C-alpha cells in the first residue's frame, strides 16, 4: 500500500509540476485550495492551502488568498478577515495570548480579544498579528512584522513592533 501511495504522490507531483511549475506537500496534491476554503465557510473565490491551521471562530470574506503555513487562530474570540486580502506564507493571526496565564502560574486567565482585518489588506510573509488588533481597509503590512496595535485604513506598517509609515 505504501508503494502505491508513493507512486500516486509521484504522479500527482509530476502533474502539478507540468501545470503550475511547483512542488507542494501531499495534502495540497489531494485537496483543492478553493474547496478547503469552502469547507470552512469562507467567502466565494477564497483559497486556502491544506496546511493552514484554522482554530475557533474564523470568518473570511470573498476572493482572499491564504498562503501556506498560515495560522488563523480564532480560539480567543472572533477573527474576521475581509474581501480581497492576501495573507502571505507563514502569517500568524491571533485572538488570544497566554502571557499572563503562564507568568502567573495559571492564576490569571488567558487573555482574549477579537481581531479584525479589513478589505483589501496585504499581510507580508511571516508577520504576526497580535490579539485585539484592527487593520483597516487597504492597509499594507510588511514582511516579518509584529503588529501589536491598530493600523489605520490605507496605511503601510512594518517592523518589530510594526510602525506606521
pTM of the model: 0.92
pLDDT in tens, 127-137: 999 999 999 99
Spell out the CATH class of 32-164: mainly beta
Report residue 113's pLDDT band, with 50, 70 and 90 as the boundaries.
Answer: very high
Closest CA to 88 of 120, 119, 123: 123
Report residue 155's pLDDT band, with 50, 70 and 90 as the boundaries.
Answer: very high
pLDDT in tens, 89-105: 999 999 999 999 999 99
pLDDT of residue 3 exceeding 90, the answer is yes
What does the mean pLDDT of the chain come to? 96
For residues 31-40, give the mean pLDDT: 95
Report residue 22's pLDDT band, with 50, 70 and 90 as the boundaries.
Answer: confident
Count CA within 13 A, CB hemisphere, residue 7.
4
Domains in the chain: boundaries: 1-30, 32-164
pLDDT in tens, 55-97: 999 999 999 999 999 999 999 999 999 999 999 999 999 999 9
Quick one: 60 exposed, middle or buried, by C-beta within 10 A (0-12, 13-18, 19+)? Answer: buried
Amino acid at each position: 500500500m505504501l508503494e502505491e501511495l508513493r507512486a500516486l504522490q509521484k504522479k500527482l507531483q509530476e502533474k502539478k509540476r507540468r501545470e503550475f511549475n511547483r512542488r507542494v506537500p501531499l495534502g495540497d496534491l489531494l485537496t483543492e485550495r478553493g474547496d478547503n476554503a469552502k469547507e470552512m465557510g469562507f467567502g466565494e473565490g477564497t483559497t486556502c492551502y491544506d496546511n493552514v491551521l484554522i482554530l475557533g471562530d474564523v470568518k473570511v470574506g470573498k476572493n482572499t488568498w491564504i498562503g501556506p503555513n498560515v495560522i488563523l487562530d480564532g480560539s480567543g474570540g472572533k477573527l474576521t478577515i475581509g474581501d480581497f486580502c492576501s495573507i502571505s506564507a507563514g502569517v500568524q493571526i491571533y485572538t488570544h495570548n497566554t502571557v499572563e496565564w503562564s507568568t502567573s502560574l495559571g492564576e490569571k486567565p488567558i487573555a482574549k480579544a477579537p481581531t479584525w482585518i479589513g478589505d483589501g489588506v496585504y499581510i507580508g510573509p511571516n508577520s504576526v498579528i497580535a490579539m485585539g488588533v484592527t487593520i483597516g481597509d487597504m492597509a499594507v503590512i510588511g514582511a516579518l512584522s509584529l503588529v501589536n496595535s491598530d493600523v489605520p485604513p490605507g496605511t503601510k506598517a512594518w517592523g518589530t513592533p510594526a510602525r506606521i509609515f
